[in-house]
Amino acid sequence: MGKLALAAKITHVPSMYLSELDGPHKGCRDAAIEGHHEIGRRCRELGVDTLVIFDVHWLVNSGYHLNCAEHFEDDYTSNELPHFIKFLHYAHSGN
């Protein structure tokens, strides 16, 4: 049995990909990308041979399924994809 060598809570938002492309978001996630490189460097330095990844999207789903209001109306901006889904107007009857 091995031992825990490193633990990290890190971002993996889609804008990291956009940050590497030419365009308006170029460089917007450079710090996060550099952080991923640093984690890789530390893992290699520690001789890590196995990674265990827990990918949790609780914030994306939190509070959106059952709100029990008479009416819902607002402009939605995604927590996870704000570069793609922003200011999306919605209006519908509640439950």
pLDDT tens digits, 43-80: 999 999 998 887 666 555 555 555 678 888 899 888 77
Which of 52, 49, 24, 20 has its CA nearest to residue 33? Answer: 20
pTM of the model: 0.55
Residue 1 · residue 18 · CB < 8 Å: no
Kindly state the DSSP code that residue 93 receives in the 8-state scheme.
Answer: E
Instruction: State both tokens at 73.
Output: 């109306």
Amino acid, res. 52: V
Instruction: State both tokens at 57.
Output: 């999207």
pLDDT tens digits, 8-50: 888 777 678 888 989 998 998 899 899 999 999 999 999 999 9
